[in-house]
Amino acid sequence: MKYHSKLVSLMLVMVMAFGGFAIQAQEEGVTLNLSRFFGVCDDEYGGFTDIEAASGECGIVTTLINNFNATNDAGITVVVQGTEWGAYYDQLNATFAGGNAPDIAVMHRTRLIDYTSRNLVIPVGEAFEMAGIDVTDFPQPALDAVSVDGEVFGLPFDLHTLLWHVNADIMAEAGLVDEDGTPIMPGSPEELLEHAAMVQEATGMDYIAMDATQFPLGVRAVFAMIWQQGGDLLNEDRTAADINNEVGLNALNTMNSLFEGGFANATYDYASSQEAFINGETAILINGTWVVDFYTEQAEDESATLTNYVVSDFPTLFDQPATWSDTHMWAVTNAVQDDPAKLEAAMTFLSFINDNNIHWARTGHVAVRNSVLESEEYQSLPRRDEYVGTADIAFAFPQVLRYQTMEDILAEEFQAVWLTGKSPEDALASAESRINDILVVR
């Protein structure tokens, strides 16, 4: 990808913007259109500006934007084009196709290259420098997540991973806690099934729950088991899938054994799996960092069934620790590249977001600034010591075009194993063939 001519134009715009030529536009007020997911919670947080009192992904991101609108002295107004996660990228793509793209858009690391490859988002490294956003404060994985071909295209917002959320009371009833009451996690596929049988025999409860039908959390757990064996989802040069092998079969068989053994419910979607955990119907829930603060609040509610909540890194079932991860980021679109006032406003807003990274981390996500990660405030957040190692074992899908189509294929094939009885061997062979057909198209 060649961005030289666009970068020259962008640098001229930035020199004008940050050199003071956009002052009149700022005085008149600039409106930034922003697209994001994270849900809609205007009933509770529509006019809320107290960042420290907000909780949950939707509550915190809504309050951050409200606070910025209320307190920035540059006359900037951020208007949110919010939507639910499942439809987000389809709607975002429609705005680009219709010529009404937002100025700033939240996106995932795994989706970034689909937009840089079409010049729909712009490089922002030089703009960050002029705006005082220090990219050297980003941990290397966070900087890599927002970079393509050595250029920075976004502001990292978090690192999010799969965790095991644990009902320690159920684990204790099954004898699966140590002397300190800490739940004991399995260390092999065989031990996984042993623990599952112990929970079922002692309590009658499921050992583990996950979204196995809707969002691909169970599928991403299989990814983690592939990485734990030293494998990957694509070959080294990313020209072909690399899952139809012993490593992939071990991982898929391990996950499917939980369903076949009656230790997990293969029909759960996101809501029902979470409800089962909160209601004390399963010992463990596979879900992400984004729910740590929510489950902590649930456990502190005296009327709740979940009272003894513990977080664990994804356990090492094979040769090396690994868990699935991705990164949320804020990207600046090509809608602002010829507008000095909007570019300056976008940098002002992103500086604000970067300065408040600690508050987004309260959701449970891992912060993406070294200065925040090293702070006492971050390290004293609830339960951080229970999954302090998750960033060190985080793996991600290779950065490649059409990632979502590939993950959708893997979800279809893997879910067919536990939902329709398709053999793991056939599922892996079919998934690899279908992904290879996609990778042929460049």
pLDDT at 27: 45
Identify the H or E element spanning 86. none
Question: How far is 377 from 98, CA to CA, in rounded Å?
Answer: 44
Distance CA 76, CA 92 (A): 22
Q: Is 324 helix (H, G, I), strand (E, B) or coil?
A: strand
How many residues make up the chain in this entry? 442
pLDDT band at 2 (very low <50, low <70, confident <90, very high): very low
Question: Do 173 and 312 fall within a single domain?
Answer: yes
Q: pLDDT tens digit string along 31-54?
A: 999 999 999 999 999 999 999 999
Residue 4 is encoded by which pair of tokens? 């030289």
Q: What is the pLDDT of residue 442?
A: 60
**411 and 313 belong to one structural domain:** yes
Q: How far is 328 from 174, CA to CA, in rounded Å?
A: 37
Same domain assignment for residues 181 and 204: yes
Which residue(s) pair with 288 in the sheet?
162
> What is the per-residue pLDDT for 14?
52
Q: 99 and 214: one domain?
A: no
Residue 441: the pLDDT is 72
Non-local CB neighbours of 272 within 8 Å, separated by 6+ positions: 265
335 has pLDDT over 70: yes
**Which residue is it, tokens 């080294």?**
236
424: domain CATH number is 3.40.190.10
pLDDT at 137 over 60: yes
User: What is the count of structural domains for the chain?
Assistant: 2
Selection from 149, 275, 223, 265 nearest residue 413 by Cα: 223
286 DSSP β-pair partners: 164
Contact 203, 174 (CB under 8 A): yes
274-298: average pLDDT: 97
For 418, counting Cβ atoms within 10 Å of its Cβ (0-12 exposed, 13-18 middle, 19+ buried), the class is buried
Mean pLDDT confidence for 134-141: 97
Instruction: Give residue 108's pLDDT.
Output: 97
410-428 pLDDT, tens digit each: 999 999 999 999 999 999 9
Residues contacting 379, CB < 8 A, separation 6+:
385
The reported pLDDT for the residue numbered 85 is 77
pLDDT surpasses 60 at 17:
no
- The per-residue pLDDT for 28 is 61
189 and 87 within one domain:
no
Q: What pLDDT, on a 0 to 100 scale, did the predictor assign at position 6? A: 38
Tell me, yes or no, whether 360 lies in a domain.
Answer: no
User: Are 116 and 198 in a shared domain?
Assistant: no
| Single residue among 303, 336, 355 that ends a domain in this structure | 355
Same domain, 242 and 99: no
Given this model, what pLDDT does residue 97 score? 96
Query: Per-residue pLDDT averaged across 255-264, rounded?
Result: 99
Task: State what percent of residues in the chain have pLDDT above 70.
Answer: 93
- The secondary structure element, H or E, covering residue 2 is none
**179-216 confidence digits (pLDDT tens):** 999 999 999 999 999 999 999 999 999 999 999 999 99
Judge if 351 and 410 occupy the same domain: no
Residues 403, 293 within the same domain: yes
Average of pLDDT values for 301-305? 89
pLDDT in tens, 58-110: 999 999 999 999 999 999 999 998 677 778 999 999 999 999 999 999 999 99
- The type of residue at 120 is L
**pLDDT, tens only, 233-253:** 999 999 999 999 999 999 999
- Separation between Cα atoms, residue 183 and residue 172, nearest integer Å: 7
Residue ranges making up the domain that contains 56:
4-159+327-355
DSSP state of 245: S
pLDDT digits (tens, 9 = 90+) for 151-171: 999 999 999 999 999 999 999
Residue 42: strand, helix, or coil: helix
- Phi/psi for 345 (5° steps) reads -65, -40
365-381: average pLDDT: 97
Do 52 and 167 fall within a single domain?
no
Looking at per-residue pLDDT, the higher value among 324 and 2 belongs to 324
Classify residue 401 by its DSSP letter. T
Tell which phi-psi region holds residue 313, choosing left (phi > 0), alpha (psi between -120 and 50) or beta: beta
Residues 141 and 183 in one domain: no
